[in-house]
């Protein structure tokens, strides 16, 4: 039986339907908003694995090209591996939902939201988040939800909930906010150097529609929900639990407050091994050992949190607002276009900037339309960065962290007109103990400035944490990996000295108050300014020149009506210019022209050749031309590409010249002056040597010979 509920947003309705499609899934919801539609399904395995210490959840958001009436580009005409955008939306869905599944359920869970229609006006990602939450909530899979999500933008001085693509493009701030009826649990987005107060207000604007969407999903469950499957908790108890806890607590308290990460990890591991060795019956039983490991995790959680809340002491000895020592090293690599090594405590990012041409732009082909990106940031997290052995590759974590860093830096890039380079930043994480994505922001900013990219302002990032207990809370600046793992919030803020450019918050508790958010943002601002101060000491301004190894780019603008003359029949002229000057030339329909060359001299000479093609010959000006053809009555000389004039034999010298070949020969380079353009558009020239014989100088009423204007 088909069930449907709806909720109005900006004059349009979000419709959630179930009971009509994909009925064999544990839960399925078809969601529509405007001309965009997503079908989300939720399924779980038929049997449970007892004692799992994680939630085996997979979210696979995918977009079908037919949704936009398109056929996939390239050789393979079907959707293949997930695109970065699909992975990023999958993470948006996964992060607020994962904490609401119970590990005791023990079954593999798969959520698959599929975009099957798009009007290219309303973004389908928000529809997908709400559809996925509804599909799980009405299913028989235990879920402490629902969650809901909205996008909030600040456009033309007003807040807009679930804006269109056009409104997003024009917005000063764009964030995706997810939460339950009790509060906000996830925020992610970017902004154009906005203040903390505006960010808080944007988050607050999301609370009511999220609560109302959660109520809508609850209504759908009331009409069509299935009874929930039982959990599969372990029925046995840990033997001698109190004795084990007493022994381990003392050892772990000492081990956890070791300052250095590797030493702390070894000390904690040794404390756990010593405790386990004292209880051989536990060590020999697989189930008892799982319970023992769970107890060790709980004890570390309790010890770390009580140390912060009761004594204001963190595992590495810092105070709540203290930032770890920071060093910034510039141009650490000799042949790259720009590089920086940013080290904060035990987190280290090597950021490398490479400058390219328009031909290096990232081409994106998806259901939103074909487009190009001139800025890329790629983040790599090799296993050695945490002292482990593992496979190298690009996973969802790398794509997510790289996207956050990219969005944080994109707002301060110069315009393409001011800096016509394609920019690629790669962040290699060499060490990690807390917020390598924010280290990538700092390192990326420094490496671009070292490469000569004229950023509007430098950008720094910081990760904040939260510990709560009842009404008590503590906000932590520059969190460690342990504080992220055992804390209640991971809250990343990037920005300039003037405001926020990037923002990501994941909350593991039911929600945070406005008071906590305000304090966290204020504390993050202080930390960000501290980091920016250190970065500015290392590199106060972008390098004045780009690297000698970077391509040289020269920009100019030509009359669009002259583009055909530059290109020539079948692109003949432009190909000849590229070959002659060893450059690449790109001309847009609006007349924007860019010349790329490995040598600056070649780029400028090619530019001048293009200008010569589009410029009209100027009477009285001296040109450096080439003798193309010799006749009895004179010589035809090319003064500009495709433009020839006649130098009559009488204009070759003051004295009588018997034959043109006595003075000139074909292929000879000569300086000539344009005397006139007659009514028929013919060019009449005079040989410069003839002018000098009559006493006229090259500067007598004319421009000097200018080889750069050939």
Higher per-residue pLDDT: 260 or 210: 210
- In this structure, what CATH number is given to the domain that contains residue 333? 3.30.230.70
Q: What is the pLDDT of residue 707?
A: 36
Q: Where are the alpha helices (DSSP H) in 179-319?
A: 196-224, 241-256, 261-277, 280-284, 286-311
pLDDT band at 330 (very low <50, low <70, confident <90, very high): very high
Q: What is the overall mean pLDDT for the chain? A: 90
Alpha-carbon gap, residue 476 to 527, rounded angstroms:
10
What is the reported pLDDT for 20?
Answer: 93
Q: Is position 651 within any domain?
A: yes
d(CA 382, CA 669): 60
Rounded average pLDDT over 164-190: 94
- Whether 57 and 12 map to the same domain: the answer is yes
431 with 571, same domain? Answer: no
Could you count the other beta carbons within 10 Å of the beta carbon of residue 222? 11
Same domain, 337 and 357: yes
Residues 6+ apart with CB under 8 A from 548: none
User: Residue 676: enclosing H or E segment and its boundaries?
Assistant: strand 669-677
Evaluate whether residue 290 is within a structural domain.
yes
pLDDT at 703 over 50: no
Q: Taking the CA of residue 109 as centre, how many other CA atoms within 13 Å lie in the half-sphere pointing to its CB?
A: 30
More confident residue, 393 or 707: 393
- 307-311, 546-550, 614-618, 680-684: least confident range: 614-618
Decide if 229 is inside a domain: no
CB-based burial of residue 284 (10 Å sphere; 0-12 exposed, 13-18 middle, 19+ buried)?
A: exposed
Q: Output the domain CATH number for residue 256.
A: 1.10.10
530 and 627 together in one domain: no
Report the sign of the C-alpha dihedral through residues 160, 162, 167, 169, in that order: positive
Query: For residue 258, what pLDDT is reported?
Result: 86
Q: Report yes or no on 543 lying in a domain.
A: no
The reply to whether 358 and 252 lie within a common domain is no
| Residues 399 and 506 grouped into a single domain | yes
Residue 41 lies in a domain: yes
pLDDT tens-digit map of 454-510: 999 999 999 999 998 888 899 999 999 888 888 888 899 999 999 999 999 998 887
Q: Is the residue at 318 inside a domain?
A: no
> Which CATH number covers residue 702?
2.40.50.140
Q: Do 402 and 506 belong to one domain? A: yes
Residues 303-312 have pLDDT tens digits of 988 889 988 8
Burial class (CB in 10 A: 0-12, 13-18, 19+), 674: buried
The model's pLDDT over 125-136, given as tens digits with 9 standing for 90+, comes to: 999 999 999 999
Q: Which residue has better confidence, 701 or 57?
A: 57
Neighbouring C-alpha atoms within 13 Å toward the C-beta of 66: 6
Residue 183 sits in the same domain as residue 285: no
Per-residue pLDDT band for 83 (boundaries 50, 70, 90) equals very high
- pTM for the predicted model, two decimal places: 0.84
Whether the CB-CB separation of 605 and 620 falls below 8 Å is answered with no
* Mean pLDDT, range 12-25, rounded to an integer: 95
pLDDT tens sequence across 561-609 = 888 888 888 888 889 889 988 888 888 888 888 898 888 788 888 888 8
Instruction: Give the residue-averaged pLDDT of 664-689.
Output: 90
pLDDT at 699: 37
Give 640 or 2, the one with higher predicted confidence. Answer: 2
What is the β-pairing status of strands 109-117 and 57-59? parallel
Q: Do 369 and 392 lie in a common domain?
A: yes
Pick 680 or 700 by higher pLDDT.
680
Eight-class DSSP state of 447: H
What strands, in cross-sheet order, belong to the sheet with 422-431? 326-330, 338-344, 347-356, 422-431, 375-380
pLDDT exceeds cutoff 50 at 696? no
- Give the number of domains in the chain: 5
- What was the pLDDT predicted at 500? 97
Integer distance in angstroms from the first to the last C-alpha of the chain?
Answer: 78
Angstrom distance (rounded) from CA 266 to CA 256? 10
Q: What are the tens digits of pLDDT across the range 409-424?
A: 999 999 988 998 999 9
In a domain, 533, yes or no: yes
Per-residue pLDDT for 354 more than 60? yes
- How many C-beta atoms surround the C-beta of residue 332 within 10 A? 14
- Point out the domain boundary residue: 311, 343, 372: 311
* Any domain includes 319: no
189 vs 179: CA distance, rounded Å? 15
- Tokens 């690449």 belong to 584
Residue 708 — pLDDT band, cuts 50, 70, 90?
very low
Q: Are 11 and 121 in the same domain?
A: yes
For 338-365, what is the mean pLDDT?
93
In percent, how much of the chain has pLDDT > 70?
97
186/207 same-domain check: yes
Domain end call among 174, 193, 224: 224
| Cα separation values, 99 from 112, 138, 147, 376, Å | 18, 18, 11, 31
207 with 93, same domain: the answer is yes
Q: Which domain holds residue 297?
A: 241-311
Helix axes 84-97, 124-138, angle to 10 degrees: 40
| Residue that terminates a domain, selected from 311, 340, 356 | 311
**Which tens digit of pLDDT belongs to each residue from 44-81?**
999 988 778 789 999 999 999 999 999 988 788 898 88
């Amino acid at each position: 039986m088909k069930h449907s509920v709806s909720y109005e947003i900006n004059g349009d309705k979000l419709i959630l339907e179930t009971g009509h499609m994909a009925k064999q899934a544990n839960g399925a919801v078809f969601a529509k908003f405007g001309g965009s539609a997503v079908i989300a399904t939720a399924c779980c395995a038929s049997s449970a694995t007892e004692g799992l210490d994680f939630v085996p959840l997979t979210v696979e958001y995918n977009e079908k090209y037919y949704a936009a009436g398109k056929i996939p580009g390239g050789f393979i005409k079907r959707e293949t591996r997930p695109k970065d955008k699909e992975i990023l939306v999958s993470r948006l869905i996964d992060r607020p939902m994962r904490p609401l599944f119970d590990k005791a359920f023990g079954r593999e869970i798969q959520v698959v939201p599929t975009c099957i229609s798009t009007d290219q006006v309303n973004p389908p990602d928000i529809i997908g988040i709400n559809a996925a939450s509804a599909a799980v909530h009405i299913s028989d899979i235990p879920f402490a939800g629902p969650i809901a999500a909205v996008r909030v933008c600040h456009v033309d001085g007003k807040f807009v909930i679930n804006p269109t693509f056009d409104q997003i493009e024009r917005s000063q701030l764009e964030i995706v906010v997810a939460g339950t009826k009790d509060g906000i649990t996830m925020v992610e987005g970017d902004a154009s150097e906005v203040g903390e107060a505006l960010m808080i207000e944007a988050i607050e604007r999301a609370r009511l529609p999220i609560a109302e969407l959660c109520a809508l999903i609850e209504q759908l469950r009331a009409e069509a929900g299935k009874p929930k499957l039982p959990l599969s908790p372990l029925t046995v108890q840990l033997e001698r639990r109190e004795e084990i806890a007493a022994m381990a607590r003392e050892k772990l308290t000492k081990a956890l407050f070791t300052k250095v990460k590797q030493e702390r990890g070894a000390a904690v591991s040794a404390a756990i091994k010593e405790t386990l060795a004292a209880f051989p019956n536990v060590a020999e039983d697989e189930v008892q050992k799982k319970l023992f490991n769970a107890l060790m995790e709980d004890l570390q959680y309790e010890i770390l949190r009580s140390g912060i809340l009761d004594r204001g002491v963190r595992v590495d000895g810092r105070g709540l607002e203290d930032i770890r020592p920071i060093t910034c090293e510039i141009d650490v690599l000799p042949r790259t276009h720009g590089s920086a090594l940013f080290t904060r405590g035990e987190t280290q990012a090597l950021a490398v900037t490479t400058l390219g041409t328009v031909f290096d732009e990232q081409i994106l082909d998806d259901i939103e339309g074909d487009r190009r990106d001139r800025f890329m940031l790629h983040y790599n997290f090799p296993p050695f960065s945490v002292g482990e052995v593992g496979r190298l590759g690009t996973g969802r974590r790398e794509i997510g962290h790289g996207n956050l860093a990219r969005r944080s830096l994109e707002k301060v890039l110069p315009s393409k007109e001011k800096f016509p380079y394609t920019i690629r930043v790669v962040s290699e994480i060499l060490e990690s103990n807390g917020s390598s994505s924010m280290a990538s922001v700092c390192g990326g900013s420094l490496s671009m400035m070292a490469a000569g990219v004229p950023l509007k302002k430098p950008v720094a990032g910081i990760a904040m944490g939260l510990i709560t207990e009842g009404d008590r809370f503590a906000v932590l600046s520059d969190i460690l990996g342990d504080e992220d793992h055992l804390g209640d919030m991971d809250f990343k803020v990037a920005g300039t000295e003037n405001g926020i450019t990037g923002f990501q918050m994941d909350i593991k508790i039911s929600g945070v108050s406005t008071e906590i958010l305000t304090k966290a943002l204020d504390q993050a601002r202080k930390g960000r300014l501290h980091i920016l101060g250190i970065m500015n000491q290392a590199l106060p301004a972008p390098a004045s020149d780009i690297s000698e190894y970077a391509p040289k780019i020269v920009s100019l603008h030509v009359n669009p009506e002259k583009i055909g003359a530059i290109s020539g029949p079948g692109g003949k002229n432009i190909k000849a210019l590229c070959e002659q000057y060893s450059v690449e030339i790109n001309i847009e329909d609006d007349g924007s022209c860019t010349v790329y060359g490995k040598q600056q001299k070649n780029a400028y000479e090619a530019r001048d050749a293009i200008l010569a093609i589009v410029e009209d010959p100027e009477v009285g000006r001296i040109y450096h031309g080439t003798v193309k053809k010799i006749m009895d009555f004179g010589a035809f000389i090319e003064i500009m590409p495709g433009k020839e004039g006649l130098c009559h034999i009488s204009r070759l010298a003051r004295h009588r010249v018997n034959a043109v070949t006595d003075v000139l020969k074909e292929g000879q380079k000569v300086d000539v002056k344009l005397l006139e353009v007659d009514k028929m558009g013919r060019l009449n020239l005079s040989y410069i040597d003839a002018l000098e014989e009559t006493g006229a100088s090259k500067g007598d009423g004319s421009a000097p010979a200018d080889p750069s204007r050939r």
